[in-house]
Amino acid sequence: MASEKSKILVVGATGYLGRHVVAASARLGHPTLALVRDTAPSDPAKAALLRSFQDAGVTLLKGDLYDQASLVSAVRAADVVISTLGSLQIADQTRLIDAIKEAGNVKRFFPSEFGLDVDRTGIVEPGRTILSGKVAIRRAVEAAGIPYTYVVAGYFAGYALPSIGQVLAQGPPTDKAVVLGDGNAKAVYVEEGDIGTYTVLAADDPRAENKTLYVRPPANTLSHNELLALWERKTGRAFEREYVPEEAVLKQIQESPVPLNIILAIGHAAYVRGEQTGFVVDPAKGADAAELYPDVKYTTVDEYLDRFL
């Protein structure tokens, strides 16, 4: 049947974003498979997570990115493969590409992306070197002739919003907020469950095939100044702004250790260069998730901030 939903395999299913993709896939009615190294882990939190997967109807497949036979077997059971592997395993997605080629049945692959658009970023070092791994995976997918979708979603709300957009802060401002640049560049904040929803909606959508899907919910596209003003209205408190000029940001990136220099480089790209919003999507190469799926009731930044009151 044409309306039959694809079987989706999530690799990195128990990770920070993976669990949200698994939940969205199951909720949206896809037969959902989760690749896991251990189906009965001793860690109570991971065991509870896997039980929640099973309660939602998800099938657990025992396998490992570094065990090619198990990887090929898992891939053969799916129509769509979504990778949510973390930064340390980005380069090893070549193993997944090889498994998809060997299996020969996958109609769409989503490599682990979800942040800046790595093909058009002007991020400074060490960010450029870090993101070059994602660029290499994109080229490998294309060279293999595997149909793909690259999902670009700006800032994870769970990373950026607890500090009200302050790049290195651990929580909301008390008296003073640190702003990179002039605070006027627009950035994008997307709740992790919504990233999962948009990603899964694209899995069977021919409009997203061989394109970059930009997740930029209109209500969640705000400058840092606008974000701080929203927080001030919610708390009834005004905060002093400390604006850090671009030259000082670049100097701090050069002088900071890992991973602070990487976090700052991403912050510079988003908050100073405005990379998450300062461009028009080329319809030949990309698609806007908000235009493709206007009915998604996403969590707005306004709603998300209420969690911290």
Number of H helices and number of E strands within the chain?
12, 13
187, β-bridge pairs: 222
Among 5, 7, 107, 134, the one annotated catalytic? 134
Q: How many CA atoms lie within 13 A of 143 on its CB side?
A: 9
Residue 186 catalytic?
no
Contact 288, 216 (CB under 8 A): yes
Give 27's contacts (C-beta < 8 A, 6+ positions apart): 56
Report whether 269 contacts 123 (CB < 8 A): yes
227 Cβ contact list (under 8 Å, min separation 6): 164, 165, 187, 189, 301
| Cβ-based neighbour number of residue 142 at 10 Å | 11
Catalytic residues: 134
